[in-house]
Amino acid sequence: MVPDTKVRVRFAPSPSGMMHLGNVRSALMNFLYARQYQGTFIIRVEDTDASRNVDPEAKKIISDLLWLGLDYLEGPIKGGPYAPYYQSQRDNIYKKYLEELIAKKRVYRCFCTTEELEKKRQRQVALKLPPRYDRACFKLTPAQVDEKLQNKIEFVWRVALDQEKKITIHDLARDTIEFDLKNFPDFPLTRADGSFTFIFANFVDDMVMKISQVIRGEDHLTNTASQAVLYDIFQVPLPTFWHLPIICNAEGKKLSKRDFGFSLNDLINEGFLPEAITNYLAIIGGGSFEQEIMSLDELAKHMNFKTVHSTGHIKYDLEKLTWMNHKWINKYDSEQLTIACLPFLVEAYSQAVQLDKTTIGHMLQLIKTDLTTLKSCVKSLKFYFEKPTVTAESLQCIPADSVANIKQLVSKNLELITNSTDFAHAVKTQAKEQNIPLKELFWYLRIALMGEQNGPAIHDLIDILGSQESAKRLQSI
């Protein structure tokens, strides 16, 4: 369905933890939707629960979004027509709409304590009844309410649902969804300390900020019924919803902290590129694409939001993500790759700081096709920073008589090593003449130069190490 109003979408993270792949995918789909329809992508920080906030002002979350290339038009730091964009700074706005609900007599005070509510819940479960609030405080008389207020008993405001009513929403993936309110409890709008709940603050902000499409995880679907009730009470048109499927691991269980890659930090620390992460998360569960490797601009152009698939969950495939990362690494030019890999090299090898970027760039270009993550450059270039120890065991893959013949052949041609191409051509030609298998020759040379059987071409290895260092290593066997 093509939007018939100005597209305004938002990503509304809670700063109670670090970004995980579900968060990233929600932010990404909002960003791409806004980009495709020339709309506005908004960041709004849901920080009303101060006790759970671990990322003050959501600085890390905002930094992660910008690192991913998901720039926003309105939000923290940038501001906008509906500032502030931190819910903790919007209490007066929420109070205004709560007072309207009180005036409409659509809410009531609930004095039940957390302990009392938990006992009721356990009893309902024991009786095999749906666990929901029993509306005990809805039945209080005005005199009983006044008495509790005089005794300064804490309370929360609850919405008095019309349990004879049904509410419908439009979801991009599921079309029309109907909620029968007899199956829902009177939900709270405030906490005992007077702060506002996620459901109420979220609704007010979406309404006030004129959010046209709410794109978020499927785990928020039950919240949507409550928020739809509030839209109905205020007689405001509902936004269109899209509840994204949950990302699951290989066993089909919801991705958790135990799964590598659950946290965006996992992927950043391992050397996954932002382009690969957004590319991967955009296409999984999104149908087929003529080409899979796409930039954000290309994704925004080719994503089909008119026929969104409905599925309960999508599988997280680290192997596919790694393949995409390899493809994106190969799209990087020398300068980009050097900047991206340098922090990993410096962390592993202190001497990397002293190398000029041209040298590092040259080395990386020679091994680029072998890199699956940025961090893999540490292993691929280990031979440059740490001279390998070659033992008899290292050469066991080559017959003993071949080792002796190759050693003699290499020694005879060492004077050519100042020109890596001439040296490689000479030893290859002479090995053929002496019936020495080329794979054994190349194994020997790579083991001597880098400690591994497989790797870059011989002339590339010599160019990386330099002729002097290469000669030393070949002579040391």
In the 3-class helix/strand/coil scheme, how is 381-425 assigned residue by residue?
A: CHHHHCCCCCCCCCCCCCCHHHHHHHHHHHHHHHHHCCCHHHHHH
Nearest to 253 by CA among 312, 322, 324: 312
Beta-bridged to residue 28, according to DSSP, are none
Q: What is the fold, at CATH topology level, of the domain defined by 1-80+245-331? A: Rossmann fold (3.40.50)
pLDDT at residue 309 greater than cutoff 80:
no
Q: What is the CATH number of domain 400-475?
A: 1.10.10.350
Q: What is the CATH number of domain 95-183?
A: 3.90.800.10
Question: DSSP code of 252?
Answer: S
- At 318-361, the pLDDT tens digits run 999 999 999 999 999 999 999 999 999 999 999 999 999 999 99
Spans of all domains in the chain:
1-80+245-331, 95-183, 332-386, 400-475
pLDDT at residue 287 greater than cutoff 80:
no
* Strand, coil or helix: 170: strand
Question: Using an 8 Å Cβ cutoff, are 112 and 219 in contact?
Answer: no
Round to whole Å and give the CA distance between 442 and 131: 71
Give the model's confidence band at 5: pLDDT under 50 very low, under 70 low, under 90 confident, else very high: confident
- Six-digit token pair at 306? 């008119």
Mean pLDDT (whole number) for 15-28 = 92
pLDDT at residue 311 greater than cutoff 90:
no
Same fold: 1-80+245-331 with 95-183: no
